[in-house]
Amino acid sequence: MGDYVNRLMAQLVAKNPGEPEFHQAVQEVAESVELALARNPRYVDAKVFERTIEPERVVMFRVPWVDDRGDVQINRGFRVEMSSAIGPYKGGLRFHPTVYLGLLKFLAFEQVFKNALTTLPMGAGKGGADFDPKGKSEGEVMRFCQSFMTELQRHIGQFTDVPAGDIGVGGREIGYLFGQYKRIRNEFTGVLTGKGLNWGGSLIRPEATGYGAAYFAEEMLKTREETLEDKTCLVSGSGNVAQYTVEKLLDLGAKPVTLSDSGGFIHDKDGIDREKLAYVMDLKNVRRGRIMEYAEKYPGVDWTAVDPAKHYNPLWALPADCAFPSATQNEINGEDATNLLAGGVYVVSEGANMPTVPAGIEAFLDARILYGPGKAANAGGVAVSGLEMAQNSARRAWSRGTVDERLRTIMQAIHGTCRRTAEEYGVAGNYMHGANIAGFTKVAGAMLDQGVV
């Protein structure tokens, strides 16, 4: 079986050229899955993993819209429907200038295993566009969303494919997308998650990914009979995931000290408290400003601008106990990982998808720290999306307490599954192998049952 990963990767790269993030994501999972294949020849004979890396369907489309000056703009939209083995395709939409097919294939692929881990019946997909909502007016964002949904609506549906938010797609965008879907299809169904509370959304959905990442860290710490109380925490990003990670860290008695955006990061040695977090939420979600303004508002806060000449991020070189990367993929490189370890970090709970490069993961695993990979640690978001779908189907709305309790239980279950699976496969303490193998075996079992489709 030793050559299996090499052969598979050579074929994958030849067939999907110029998609490094997709290659990276598959390689990581393939190395784990090799352990499962060795124990179950049926997976090998039925080419289960080879099928998992080929999307069931990819839709790519033109998104024309008119900006405020009356000029025509053209973006490219996508939906990657990766796997429907255990449920309807499910996964977010990303609006960011860096979006291209390979990026969405990596995200859709990660989603396969993450969704399987949630214990809920959800397949996997991901979509988006190379549209940058930054600096656009409300009217421009709305017209773009309407044009995007005019095509996407043909391919999605409550029983087929249920998108949600991701980078650049929050409550505002989901509202415009849902409005257009309803208008064209003349039906009010749970076709998107992350909806507003008074039109089918679930309490705790906006909070879910960040809360879940903090719960996952809490569970990992419990294995060493520790808690998050008084732990100094580095958080990157300042969007949806970062904001609610900070909120839950405060609930659990920790001390978050950093936030960032694509311009740089703030370091608040006194800690980001609830009042400062409320300021950040207003700054980012309402005024749509830059995190640098935090340092202008609060004295004693350090601001560090991004320096493209540096090959490491000084945020990850600050002394701390825990790190919650919550911005984007590959934001922790090998040097950053070394700096984190040198600074005392021994808990990494990934809110973002694939934020750590392979060399960084290797450094964490070698150091035997508590490393929670994104597909486990950030699964709370899609889990509560699943709960939103359940509430929509039942035409009911659960209380905040009920949803938060279920989220916590799901995160505990995911943690337990990863831990047990790692032990079972002789790699105790390795949550990465645990998450990949547990997610894979669930999907593989369903694929075997359903025949060659």
Residues 6+ apart with CB under 8 A from 49: 8, 30, 33, 37, 43, 440, 444
Binding string, 81-110, against ligand NDP, x = CB under 6 A? ------------------------------
At 120, list the tokens. 């809920």
Structure tokens that stand for 184 in this block = 């064209």
Instruction: Please state the closest distance from residue 2 (CB atom) to ligand NDP, in A.
Output: 33
**Residues that contact ligand NDP, how many (by CB under 6 A):** 23
Among 124, 145, 192, 352, binds ligand NDP (CB under 6 A): 352
Residues 6+ apart with CB under 8 A from 178: 191, 192, 195, 199
The reply on whether position 288 binds ligand NDP by CB under 6 A is no
Q: Which of 90, 114, 126, 375 is catalytic?
A: 126
- Contacting residue, 161, 166, 336, 388, with ligand NDP by CB under 6 A: 166
- Residue from the set 193, 232, 240, 258 that interacts with ligand NDP by CB under 6 A: 240
CA distance 137 to 119: 40
What residues numbered 192-221 form the site for ligand NDP, per CB under 6 A? Answer: 209
- Of 6-14, 273-281, 351-359, 396-404, the segment contacting ligand NDP by CB under 6 A is 351-359
Give least dist CB 21 to ligand NDP, A: 11
Residue 155 CB, nearest distance to ligand NDP (Å)?
Answer: 21
**CA–CA gap between residue 270 and residue 302 (Å, rounded):** 11
Q: Where are the beta strands (DSSP E) in 84-155?
A: 89-95, 124-129
Q: Does residue number 241 form part of the binding site for ligand NDP (CB under 6 A)?
A: yes
Is residue 421 close enough to count as binding ligand NDP by CB under 6 A?
A: no
Residue 407 interacting with ligand NDP (CB under 6 A):
no
Give the 3-state secondary structure percentages of the chain, helix then strand then coil, rounded to 5: 50, 15, 35
Q: Is residue 349 involved in binding ligand NDP (CB under 6 A)?
A: no
Residue partners of 325: CB distance under 8 A and separation at least 6:
236, 237, 331, 332, 348, 350, 351, 352, 355, 356
Which x/- pattern over 262-281 shows residues binding ligand NDP (rule: CB under 6 A)? xx------------------
Among 200, 351, 386, 439, binds ligand NDP (CB under 6 A): 351
| 150, 238, 313, 356: residue in contact with ligand NDP (rule CB under 6 A) | 238
The one-letter amino acid code at 18 reads: G
In the complex, the smallest distance separating the C-beta of residue 354 from ligand NDP, rounded to whole angstroms, is: 8
Taking CB under 6 A as the criterion, the residue among 165, 175, 190, 360 binding ligand NDP is 165
In degrees and rounded to multiples of 5, residue 340 shows phi and psi of -60, -45
If one asks whether residue 336 binds ligand NDP (CB under 6 A), the answer comes out as no
For residue 75, the surrounding DSSP H or E stretch is: strand 72-83
Which segment (178-186, 234-242, 273-281, 423-431) binds ligand NDP by CB under 6 A? 234-242
Please name the residue that has the structure tokens 């600096």.
Answer: 135
Question: Tokens 């959905």 label which residue?
Answer: 205
276 among known catalytic residues:
no
Report which residue type is found at 91: G
Stretch in the footprint of ligand NDP (CB under 6 A) among 37-45, 220-228, 232-240, 309-317: 232-240
Q: What is the C-alpha to C-alpha distance for residues 237 and 240, in angstroms, rounded to an integer?
A: 9
Q: If binding is defined by CB under 6 A, does position 128 make contact with ligand NDP?
A: no
Alpha-carbon separation of residue 325 from 19, 65, 98, 252 (angstroms): 23, 34, 19, 18
Choose one: 3-11, 137-145, 184-192, 346-354; the region binding ligand NDP (CB under 6 A).
346-354
**Rounded Cα gap, residues 391 and 398, in angstroms:** 7
* Position 237 contacts ligand NDP (CB under 6 A): yes
Query: Which residue from 193, 245, 328, 421 is in contact with ligand NDP, where contact means CB under 6 A?
Result: 328
Taking CB positions, which residue lies at the least distance from ligand NDP?
Answer: 239
Q: Which amino acid is at 96?
A: H
Measure the CA–CA gap between 359 and 204, rounded to whole angstroms. 34
Tell me which residues are annotated as active site. 126
Binding site for ligand NDP (CB under 6 A): 165-168, 170, 209, 237-242, 261-263, 326-328, 351-353, 378, 381
